[in-house]
Amino acid sequence: MNKIKNKKKTQSFSTDVIIVVIIILFGTLFLVANKINTVESKTIGEVQSQASDDSDIIYSSLKDSKVIDSKGVIDANKLLALNDVQLKEELGIKSDFAITFEKNGKLVKIGNKNCIGSTNIIVNGQICE
């Protein structure tokens, strides 16, 4: 009789341990997933802020390399010679980017190009490069 009681106690203890382990596992999983989710879903503000910083870095780089001179004048030949992939690496920017020009909402071309930058971006039907 005692043997049966002890056996039942042992079984009950094992079940409790398994339940606790499962709860801990689920808890850990939830925390990890939650953490990943938090990292991936940046707020709109954060995205805009990061993009704004990246744009400023690119703009400063264009001024440093005299693509834009001190009076704000664009040197189209220098701009056309830019390599966006190289520039991204040099500036440590992760996102693709493209540079376009407009006046009163209308496209202004650089040479015969609509844009300079990543081939992932299209301006007025023309893939940037």
Partner 1 sequence: MIKKIFTSLLTLFILISLVHARSNLLECSFKNSCASNEKEMFAANGNFYQTSPSENKNNVLSSNVKLTSDVNYNRSLCCKINNVDLNGRFDITHESGAEKSCISGIDPIMYFTSSTNARVGFDFDPLFNKSHYSNKLCMNLPKEISKFHIEIDNDSLKKNLGFTCLYKTNSLVNGLISSCDSKYLDNNLNLGEYKYTVWAKLYESLDSLKCNDDCTSKLDGRVYSDCGSKINFCSNVPPSCDGSLYGSWVKLDENNNGVIDSDETTEIQCSAPWSNYRYQVFTDQKLNVNSQKGVCSSLVKKQYSVMYENELINMNIYICED
Q: Quote the least distance from Cβ 48 to partner 1, whole Å.
A: 6
Of 25 and 47, CB closest to partner 1: 47
Q: How far is the CB of 114 from partner 1 (least distance, A)?
A: 9
- Contact between 36 and partner 1 by CB under 8 A: the answer reads no
Distance CA(67)–CA(124), nearest Å, equals 23
Asked if residue 123 binds partner 1 (CB under 8 A), the reply is yes
CB atoms within 10 A of CB 2: 6
> Nearest CA to 59 among 104, 83, 91?
91
28, 59, 66, 85: which one contacts partner 1 (CB under 8 A)?
Answer: 59
Given candidates 65, 78, 109, 129, which one binds partner 1 under the rule CB under 8 A? Answer: 109
Closest-CA residue to 111 (of 122, 124, 101, 125): 101
Q: How far apart, in whole angstroms, are the C-alpha atoms of residue 32 and residue 16?
A: 24
Does residue 87 interact with partner 1 by CB under 8 A? no
Residue 62 Cβ vs partner 1, minimum distance, rounded to whole Å = 9
The 10 Å Cβ neighbour count of residue 66 is 10
- Among candidates 46, 108, 42, which has minimal Cα distance to 74? 108
Q: Is 113 helix (H, G, I), strand (E, B) or coil?
A: strand
- Per-position x/- string for 65-84, each x denoting binding to partner 1 as judged by CB under 8 A, each - no binding: ---x--xxxx-x--------
Contact positions vs partner 1 (CB under 8 A)? 47-48, 50-52, 54-56, 58-59, 68, 71-74, 76, 95-103, 105-112, 115, 117-125, 127
